[in-house]
Amino acid sequence: MGSFRLAKINHLNDGFALAGYALYSVYACLLFHSPTAISSLAPFGGVATFWFLIALLTGRVCGYVFYSLCPSRRVAPRHSQMALLAIFGLALLGFVVVGMALSFSPMVFDVVVALPWLCAGAFALGGADAALVVGLLGRLIAFDLRNSYLFLVVSNIVAVLAYYVLTFLPRFLSFPAAALFFFLALASLLCDQRVVTDRSKSEYSAFVFRGALFRLWRPILGVLTLGFMAGLILQISGREEIALEAFQQSSVFSSLLLYVVLLVVALALPKNIDLGRIYQVAIPISAVSFLLLPLVWNSAGGIVNSFANLGFMLALLVLTCLVVGLARDTGAPVFSLLGVAYATAYLSQWGGMIVGFCNASSIGRGTLALTAIALVSVYLLTVLSLALFKDKGFRGFEDDGAAPAEDRLRGVQVEGASCGERCDEIAEAYGFTEREREIVRYLGQGNTIHAVSKRLYISESTVKYHVKSIYQKLEIHTRQELIDMIAQRVEEPKG
């Protein structure tokens, strides 16, 4: 009876998590991915919208940097409630300030008067936005890789459909609707009674955290490049000249098509999802936007901008799955890893928007500069694709454990020696068996007992038996002591 009740509570929490991220995604569509909620800024031209988005991105980046610098492994319920209260206060301040600026903007003829207030409110919203995203995505650590992927895809499909319905609302209701969806998403976190923690219950390890970041450098590099491209094309594609209704329709239908295809792919492959192959799709999507740029520019409802943004969002979705899966397997702090990944992504988009804005006046349909930017961007994306996928190392994040141990451990550096080499030295010095040698390699990289059992296709009890033998030979008692031993110079056996 107790186990049935626990399962029912877990399913309820899963529902709250799914609904929360879908609600947040609707808010993001209204306020960030399209100018729907800030359409009253149209009389001021693209300048006001640009600085609003820059301030919002700046707040986001600052929020994510805060989480990346606070490697907390566990969020206690009391602290979680205090954090939610802080997010609520910051978001309320941002919505009130931005709402007032939008309300009075038709009465203000000088954009300089309203712009500081608008940017201040956007900055507060960005910070609250980052904290909410980390809280929502942190719940994914309770899911495996496949379910995390399905969670994100289904949430986005629901959000796009809801956003399409909201486009029929009167424009003056768009901003209040965005605020409503944000606070509903925040309420879902309060309803979710889970505590985000890792499986190993061990203390934070800087070595494991650095190793996790090293394993993520390729997908982060890809997201960084695609984010810059998306920000750049947002400013040079003449978006401010596109009718809002046309922009909304192109954004909705292109996004819906992409996410439905991703869902079909996941359902057609019931066992394993190759995130590397899905990630590869993001680069051609972004490249298509630059190939169309000289031909289409701001025609067809801004389809060029939609393609660039879709490539970026797809890469970010895959990166999110990789980050959460890596945190689950290694015990690295999920909030900090998410903070690093998302801070990098949105900082690159921020940089692309700045570069595009500074050069937008000299770029127009049919200009040589526009063609040159398109060709150079396609070339850079091709080089990026070759750099990211020249070997199978990028695909070493799947949960199926199919890749060899050597491929998974390759490249993690500790004082000039790879993690595998250091573990081999310890194994030789202390007389490990072949199975103990395999297990210590995974433990040394930061994998939990649960993750090791999945990699080696053996039971957790078998792994624990070997771990006990390893600890006895090394005369240690915790995984952290093992990690410290690997990170330091190998000593001779005691006695």
At residue 200, the pLDDT reads: 39
For residue 279, give both structure tokens.
Answer: 């990630």
Alpha helices for 389-478 (secondary structure H): 405-409, 419-430, 434-445, 449-456, 460-474
Tokens read off for 198? 């890792």
Side chain identity, residue 220: I
User: Are the C-beta atoms of residues 453 and 463 closer than 8 Å to each other?
Assistant: yes
How much is the pLDDT for 35?
Answer: 63
The predicted pLDDT at position 6 comes to 41
Residue 414, phi then psi, degrees to nearest 5: -135, 105
Quickly list H helices, 105-144: 111-138
Task: List the structure tokens of 161.
Answer: 């459909």
Sign of the CA dihedral with 475 first, then 479, 485, and 486 last: positive
* Contact in structure between 373 and 363 (CB atoms under 8 Å): yes
Q: What angle do CA 155, 396, 486 make, to 5 degrees?
A: 120
For residue 401, the model assigns a pLDDT of 39
CA distance 136 to 130: 10
What pLDDT, on a 0 to 100 scale, did the predictor assign at position 2?
44
Asked if 406 and 421 count as a contact pair (C-beta separation under 8 A), the reply is no
Query: What pLDDT score does 36 carry?
Result: 61
Predicted confidence at residue 365, as pLDDT, reads: 63
Sequence ranges of the domains in the chain: 2-196+206-392, 405-487
Nearest CA to 188 out of 150, 149, 255, 138 is that of 138
The amino acid at residue 493 is P
**Is 405-487 CATH 2.40.128.50?**
no
pLDDT reported for residue 78 = 41
Q: Tokens 């996941």, residue?
A: 266
User: Is-contact 460 450, C-beta < 8 A?
Assistant: yes
Per-residue pLDDT of the chain (495 residues; tens, 9 = 90+): 444 444 444 556 667 777 889 999 999 988 877 666 676 555 555 678 888 899 999 999 999 999 988 755 444 444 467 888 899 999 999 999 988 887 776 665 566 677 888 899 999 999 999 999 998 998 888 888 888 899 999 999 999 999 999 888 887 888 899 999 999 999 988 876 554 444 434 445 666 677 778 888 888 988 998 899 888 887 776 555 666 677 777 788 888 998 999 898 888 876 667 787 788 888 888 887 777 776 666 555 567 777 788 889 999 999 999 898 888 777 778 889 999 999 999 999 999 999 888 887 777 666 677 777 777 777 777 777 777 766 554 544 444 433 333 333 333 444 445 667 778 888 888 888 888 888 888 887 777 887 887 777 677 777 887 888 888 888 888 877 887 787 774 444 444
Cβ contacts of 303-309, under 8 Å, gap ≥ 24: 303/250, 303/254, 304/233, 304/237, 305/233, 305/234, 305/237, 305/239, 305/247, 306/250, 306/251, 306/254, 306/255, 307/254, 308/229, 308/230, 308/233, 308/234, 309/33, 309/230, 309/234, 309/251
Q: Give the pLDDT score at 5.
A: 47
SS3 state of residue 417: strand
CATH 1.10.3720.10 fits 2-196+206-392, yes or no: no
376: phi then psi, degrees, rounded to nearest 5: -65, -40
Both ends of the chain: CA-CA distance in Å?
53
Distance CA 293, CA 371 (A): 8
Cβ contact 146:245 at 8 Å: no
Q: How far apart are CA 477 and CA 63, in angstroms?
A: 37
> Given this model, what pLDDT does residue 405 score?
37
